[in-house]
Amino acid sequence: MTEQTAEALPTASTSHVSKYTRNQPYLSEVLVNERLTGPDSEKETIHVELALEDGMTYTPGDAVGIIPTNRDVVVEGVLKALGFTGSERVLDHYKVEISLDEAVRTRLAIGKLARGSVNQFAKLCGENAPAGLKALLGVDNKAAAEEYVWGREFVDLITDFPGIITDPQQLFNILQRLTPRMYSIASSQDAHPGQVHTTVRVVRYNSHGADRQGVCSGHLGERCQVGKVMPIFLHENNAFRLPEDTSAPVVMIGPGTGIAPFRSFLEHRQVHGEPGRNWLFFGEQRSISDYLYKDQFAEMQKQGVLTRLHTAFSRDHLKKVYVQDRMQENAAELFEWLETGAYFYVCGDATRMAKDVETALLDVIAKGSKGTLEYAAEYLAAMKKQKRYQRDVY
Ligand code: NAP
């Protein structure tokens, strides 16, 4: 629900000003942390609302940077495997003295093991690396090293090859820095003053006999309950913006957590009373458990903000149905929208979905224009030039 009237609102701005950065983050309170997916879902997708200080502003399309901390159980596992107590003193990346516990918890990437970390770790042994470790080094053993790091974390390396780290400071040469994760913003600030929302799939899996979590999604899913405070900052993304012409139609393709920026776009257009037509394609596994923001989109449809809404629930059918299938089914109308100047946006999975959606889009253009695929590629290139084809894929 919106909390301001259109007349009272400032015009959409494309930049934000904030004194907070990834190096000097804002300590934000968690206002809401709720599961969007049903109990039977194969996914745990959550909606998180965070407090902002006056003066922290963002534009739909921007991201929120979240600085995670490592899981207690993993931190303890690392300290135990190293034989340290955690009270040892080390210098952080800025040469500030902190405890080893704090370093492992908040500064070092002890999650997914990187091949580079294995190499740096082995360097500590000089010529005396154990045979098992030697078998992971050098170009000839690249495949073996890749197989080893897959599904493993730093704690596995120091458990498999104990006693190699003798000085806690060595960890800073072996491990990458724990970096913030960027999440597409799912809210319009004009609809939710003083807040920023995001949509996150919590990654949990079991590998090599241990339960694991995504570093930041696990942090949000497990350790960021309402009332907790965590470091965040806002990240501008000028490459993903609503059209300046508020009457231009927009088409949004947002399966899974790719829905996030489109909730932001739609809230923005709703709260500003922008006249442009809006068409959303959303895809997930099952309608019963995975229809993210279902009620809100139904309300937007009722109010006429959401002109067209197509869903593709891949596992509700014997044969999988994806967002690009819905595009194909509505090809003529979709091409008509493009011909009237529609902006086309894609957000979500980069590896397969975004490519398949682009292939479908080229097909829609070719069919609609009764042209060749070469002509469709030129048409899409022209759309890109006019900033009418924008993607935020990961
Ligand atoms: P997702 O994996 O993209 O799944 C959403 C829907 O897209 C499902 O119905 C899925 O169907 C379908 N799909 C699968 N392949 C497709 C294709 N080639 N074209 C079109 N649709 C396709 O959604 P998500 O789980 O929300 O993940 C979205 C992206 O975020 C992915 O890139 C994922 O790797 C990344 N990610 C995000 C987080 C996070 O937010 N913390 C964590 C991990 C990964 P089926 O599954 O039935 O095939």
pLDDT tens by residue, 83-142: 999 999 999 999 999 999 999 999 999 999 999 999 999 999 988 999 999 999 999 999
pLDDT for the residue 8: 36
| Maximum pairwise Cα distance, the chain | 73
Name the residue with tokens 């003083």. Answer: 194
CA 216 to ligand 1: nearest atom: 41
Residue-range domain boundaries for the chain? 4-68+180-235, 72-174, 250-393
Confidence of residue 1 (pLDDT cuts 50, 70, 90): very low
Percentage of the chain beyond pLDDT 90 is 94
Q: How far is the centre of ligand 1, averaged over its atoms, from the C-alpha of 292 (Å)?
A: 13
Q: How far is the centre of ligand 1, averaged over its atoms, from the C-alpha of 349 (Å)?
A: 6
CA 393 to ligand 1: nearest atom: 32
- Whether 80 lines ligand 1, by a CB cut-off of 6 Å, is no
pLDDT for the residue 5: 33
- Whether 285 lines ligand 1, by a CB cut-off of 6 Å, is yes
Does pLDDT of 173 surpass 90?
A: yes
Give the separation between CA 320 and CA 200, rounded to whole angstroms: 24
- Whether 205 lines ligand 1, by a CB cut-off of 6 Å, is no
Q: pLDDT digits over 68-100, tens only?
A: 999 999 999 999 999 999 999 999 999 999 999
pLDDT for the residue 16: 52
- Whether 323 lines ligand 1, by a CB cut-off of 6 Å, is yes
Angle between helices 331-339 and 353-369 (to 10 degrees): 80
Question: Domain 250-393 maps to which CATH number in 3.40.50.150, 3.40.50.300, 3.40.50.80, 1.10.1660.10?
Answer: 3.40.50.80
Q: What is the CATH number of domain 72-174?
A: 1.20.990.10
Q: How far is the centre of ligand 1, averaged over its atoms, from the C-alpha of 302 (Å)?
A: 28
Does pLDDT of 14 surpass 70?
A: no
Q: pLDDT digits over 213-245, tens only?
A: 999 999 999 989 999 999 999 999 999 999 999
278 Cβ neighbours under 8 A, 6+ residues apart:
249, 250, 252, 265, 266, 269, 305, 306, 307, 308
Does pLDDT of 12 surpass 50?
A: no
Q: Which of 5-14, 200-209, 290-299 has the lowest mean pLDDT?
A: 5-14
Give the pLDDT mean for 283-298: 98
pTM for the whole thing? 0.92
- Whether 217 lines ligand 1, by a CB cut-off of 6 Å, is yes
Domain 4-68+180-235, CATH homologous superfamily name and number: Translation factors (2.40.30.10)
Q: How far is the centre of ligand 1, averaged over its atoms, from the C-alpha of 34 (Å)?
A: 20
